[in-house]
Chain A
Amino acid sequence: MSVSKRILADEGKPYSKARKIGNVLKNWITNPYNVIVLISIILLFALVVSPLLDMIVTTFKVGPKDASRAKAPVGELTLYYWQRLFNSMISKNMLYKPLGHSLLIAACVASLSVVLGGVFAWLMVRSDIPGKKWFSLGIVIPYMIPSWIQAMAWIAIFKTPAIGGNPGFLSYLNIVPPDWLSYGPVAIIIVLTIHYYAYAYILISGALSSINSEMEEMGEMLGASKMLILRKITFPLVMPAALSAFILIFSKSIGTFSVPAYLGLKVGYYTISTMLYNMIGQQQTAIAYGISLILISIAAILILANQLIIGKRKSFATIGGKGTRSNPIPLGKSKAPICVVLVVFILTCVLMPMVLLFIQSLMLKLGDFSLSNLTLHYWIGEGISDIYSGYPGIFRNPMFYKCLANSFKIVIVASILATLTGQIIGYIVSRGRGTFSGHLVEQLAFIPYLIPSIAFGAMYLSLFSVEKSVTIFGQKIVLFPALYGTYALLFLVSIVKNMPFSSRSGSANMLQISTELEEAGRIKGAGFMYRLRKIILPLSRSGFLSGFLLIFVAVFKELDLIVLLVSPETQTLPFLTYSFMNNNYEQLADASAVLMFLIVFFVYWFSSKIFKTDLTKSM
């Protein structure tokens, strides 16, 4: 912008109000910060707040199919759906029972995970256990594997002829597991715990390693026993982290869909998330949205409560952040048995599931573990009409390639766009620190974290299933186009749902770039876009890449978020695996799950090797 275009006030000219107003407007418009903030706020409102509102409105309006039952015309305000949900003949089966199941599962998973994660954290951080490097890697691997793959492995082991049709591994060994162990709440709780304990481990070990070991040594010098020190000193100090892990795992597992779907639906054991999916399937949209809102409220309240607790007691977590020289506590005689237990745990929970899934994918007939039964049919075989309706092996199945291509398409587009928006939001948050706009953008970008994936999918289904427009002065303006069945919807939902992570990594990245580097460019006359191109983006490149990889893995293994939104055209690899499982094409599902695991593991390995990224940060 040149000087001549500006309204100039030269010395001696009298004050002019018109010039002032002109300048105020020009200053506002030409300040790039304001423009990005405005666009971000509009977009965040449209993509985060409005779907939520839309969902709420839907539950209070009579839908097209329910006019006669609700005894009101279509579109009328009604409490029909909420009444049906909370107080009707079917409330018990539709809401209270699944909700009870979900709460039970969440409570058990959260407590078991915190105990297991806490013990591992103490062993890894505090004790003198050998081989810490390998153990700590083994301990977090379960969190890298999508939980639905773990559920598949569970089925492969515990399936009994009574329910699953073919015998599982244990049945083959003539150890017939009881039905309650194969499917249902116990199975769901164990599988979710094996997945989420790693999350508790990450949080608690972080807190433990920030505690100065001198505090424990002081106790020792005063003559306290190891147990007493643990109980009176160590435990209270990690309490905030453990509590926070409990709450976060609770809220994550209450909304999880895939594991209860794999392990519960076969025996008619519904949780709130599988019921929600069921309702959408039955076209009972308003009821499904009502269930989603209940789910969102529980998760949101828990997460906000967690922030309150963390906020109040965070002084605990930073104790002795400087110069911690921790003296490991000797395990003494119990060292060897503990090591053995750990090795067995990692073998059975990490290695065995994957190996078993792989072996099962090689078995022509399920349940027959003899060598002669091994085949590559489900990997590369041509379709034979009497096996699985003539489905060929995954590498000969055009559907598989299509889903693989879809997955990569969605993952690449969504991760690039999500990282880019994350950087921009990060820029606003870091540069607008202490201002209202910066705070507002930060809060809006955080909202998706409060909403369980399946409910988030339901929200987007509600908003984008039909075109929404307003007519102003006879002109139709499309606010939300009908995107159902398009890739655009999957891109959008993946970008927005991952916004809390991408914007957090973006703002961490931007905070590292001193504002003076930008100001030095301003002084030299470089405009905003020029500074962005020549200074900010080159300096944020490494943060950009690690942010990209975080989102990449998260989107790639996602099933809960998109399960309501995919159409036959836009299926992804996790969805294909899920449909193979639903059709009992187990070996095909196993083959594609093993492949998925290899891809995810490769990306983790690649990013930690090349970019030194700590991917545990995204969890």
Chain B
Amino acid sequence: MSRIELKHIDKYYGKNHVLKDINLVAEDGDFLTLLGPSGCGKTTTLRVVAGLENPQGGDIFLDGKNIVNAKENYFEEPGKRGMDLVFQSYALWPHMTVYDNVAFGLVVKKTPKDEIRSKVMNALERMRIAEYAKRYPSELSGGQQQRVAIARSIVSNSKILLLDEPLSNLDAKLRIEMRSEIKRLHHDLGTTILYVTHDQVEALTMSTKIAIFFDGCLEQVAPPMELYQNPASLKVADFIGNPKINFIDATAKKNAEGTITVTSPMGTFEAKKELLVGIDELPGQFDAILGIRPEKLTIQTEPADDAIKGTVYSVQPAGSETIITLKIGDSTILVKDLGIKNFDMDQTVYVRYSHEKANVFHKESGKLIKKVILD
């Protein structure tokens, strides 16, 4: 059992407010990813959890035990929290062999020699680097160093594993390999993992839950696919997804039955009541933004009743998919089509989409007001 809870965490560097009232829970066995652009506070959050930085406000509970109580200036020592951290730079001690690096924590805890030996070899074999035990970090490749860093963090069976952008120094091929390795590790060990990254693909593919940060604020915490399909705000919607989501200016009108009617260059539709959130405070009519993922749009050359007319601006075939840029009225729309498609420049085409698969945001607050039905 290892559940970690952050309550009202505030952190300042001088006058710089870097973490603003962060509330976050990772349940036992969660793979919680902290995602956001650089400088948003995700690494700081991880360092606060690890105990390398002390927050000025808030509490942290590990399995119900108060390990940080900023109001009473109580901060548990990092080494006593039962957590392990993999640094972005790996932070392997260059003067120790791989074996000594991995054994360090156990030696500090005065573990018997035999036990150290079996645990270290176990961790090294787990990461498939047992043959390098006697080498020094400088004699290993980047990928092997990464494995040593992970072996070092799993050797003492910590309650929580913290990973700070562990794959950012690897090349693309190794990164994909290590991604599946870490996901498998999480499955085998069952440890709660907090994982920091700025790479949305990493976050979407590996996590059970994603916490997305902007500018020191926690914007949304949700399972990856929910985050992708129902982003809580324009900011999140814009950050997640490649190619980017299409935003189209629209107007929305509340109806007596509790539904809303959305009008935009992409046509007019009525959104069902059960898909709407937080529209009670909104006026009868307001500006909205329609959000449609590029892969939710389909292109055809023949007109149809529910199809909207547009012209092809450019086409980018990439083999497995084709990205088509369209002009509809004044708006530029991206369409992602699986397979190889070809269109002429300025050709007239017709686009269709399911209204259930479109998000609607309130323009002024940026908040999501209409969800999609999850796939």
Q: Are B79 and A517 in contact (CB under 8 A)?
A: no
Q: Does A134 contact B (CB under 8 A)?
A: no
Contacts of A24 in B (CB 8 A): 73
- The docked-state distance in angstroms from the alpha carbon of A341 to that of B148 is 60
Please give me the residue from chain B that is nearest to A15 by CB atom: B71
Q: Does A227 contact B (CB under 8 A)?
A: no
Q: Does B76 contact A (CB under 8 A)?
A: yes
Q: B50, B72, B108: which contacts A525 (Cβ < 8 A)?
A: B108
Q: Are A9 and B108 in contact (CB under 8 A)?
A: no
Name A's interface SS: helix
What does the 1/0 interface line of A50-87 toward B look like (CB < 8 Å)? 00000000000000000000000000000000000000
Given contacts A11-B64, A27-B73, contact A525 B105 (CB under 8 A): yes
Give the top 6 A-B pairs by smallest Cβ distance, nearest first: A525-B79, A524-B105, A516-B91, A23-B73, A520-B91, A20-B72
- The docked-state distance in angstroms from the alpha carbon of A525 to that of B104 is 10
Contacts of A19 in B (CB 8 A): 72, 74
Interface centre among B61, B73, B93 (most CB of A within 10 A): B73
Q: Are B89 and A514 in contact (CB under 8 A)?
A: yes
What does the 1/0 interface line of A350-367 toward B look like (CB < 8 Å)? 000000000000000000
Residues of A within 8 A of B (CB): 1, 3, 6-11, 15-16, 19-20, 23-24, 27, 514, 516-517, 519-527, 530, 534-535, 538-539
- The docked-state distance in angstroms from the alpha carbon of A538 to that of B66 is 36
- The docked-state distance in angstroms from the alpha carbon of A429 to that of B254 is 63
Please give me the residue from chain B that is nearest to A9 by CB atom: B69
Q: Are B65 and A520 in contact (CB under 8 A)?
A: no
Shortest CB–CB separation between residue B216 and chain A, in angstroms?
A: 20
Q: Are A522 and B72 in contact (CB under 8 A)?
A: no
Q: Are A526 and B77 in contact (CB under 8 A)?
A: no
Q: Are A6 and B74 in contact (CB under 8 A)?
A: yes
Contacts of A535 in B (CB 8 A): 93
Interface centre among B52, B69, B85, B89 (most CB of A within 10 A): B69
Contacts of A8 in B (CB 8 A): 66, 74
- The docked-state distance in angstroms from the alpha carbon of A31 to that of B95 is 26
Given contacts A3-B80, A520-B93, A522-B52, contact A11 B72 (CB under 8 A): no
Q: Does B94 contact A (CB under 8 A)?
A: yes
Contacts of B83 in A (CB 8 A): 523
- The docked-state distance in angstroms from the alpha carbon of A534 to that of B94 is 12
Q: Does B87 contact A (CB under 8 A)?
A: yes
Shortest CB–CB separation between residue B73 and chain A, in angstroms?
A: 4
Contacts of B91 in A (CB 8 A): 514, 516-517, 519-520
- The docked-state distance in angstroms from the alpha carbon of A535 to that of B105 is 13
Q: Are A523 and B76 in contact (CB under 8 A)?
A: no
Q: Are B94 and A520 in contact (CB under 8 A)?
A: no
Interface members, chain B 320-374 (any A CB < 8 Å) = none
- The docked-state distance in angstroms from the alpha carbon of A530 to that of B89 is 22
Q: Does B99 contact A (CB under 8 A)?
A: no
Q: Are B104 and A524 in contact (CB under 8 A)?
A: yes
Q: Does B84 contact A (CB under 8 A)?
A: yes
Contacts of A9 in B (CB 8 A): 66, 69, 72, 74
Q: Are B65 and A7 in contact (CB under 8 A)?
A: no
Shortest CB–CB separation between residue A336 and chain B, in angstroms?
A: 49
Q: Does B109 contact A (CB under 8 A)?
A: yes
Given contacts A7-B74, A9-B69, A23-B73, contact A521 B104 (CB under 8 A): yes
- The docked-state distance in angstroms from the alpha carbon of A16 to that of B73 is 11
Contacts of B195 in A (CB 8 A): none
- The docked-state distance in angstroms from the alpha carbon of A516 to that of B66 is 26
Shortest CB–CB separation between residue A536 and chain B, in angstroms?
A: 10
Q: Are A526 and B72 in contact (CB under 8 A)?
A: no
Q: Are B89 and A523 in contact (CB under 8 A)?
A: no
Question: Can you list 18 A-B contacts with CB-CB less than 8 angstroms, sorted by A residue number?
Answer: A7-B72, A9-B69, A11-B64, A16-B72, A20-B71, A23-B74, A24-B73, A27-B73, A514-B89, A514-B91, A517-B93, A520-B91, A520-B93, A522-B78, A524-B84, A525-B109, A527-B79, A538-B95
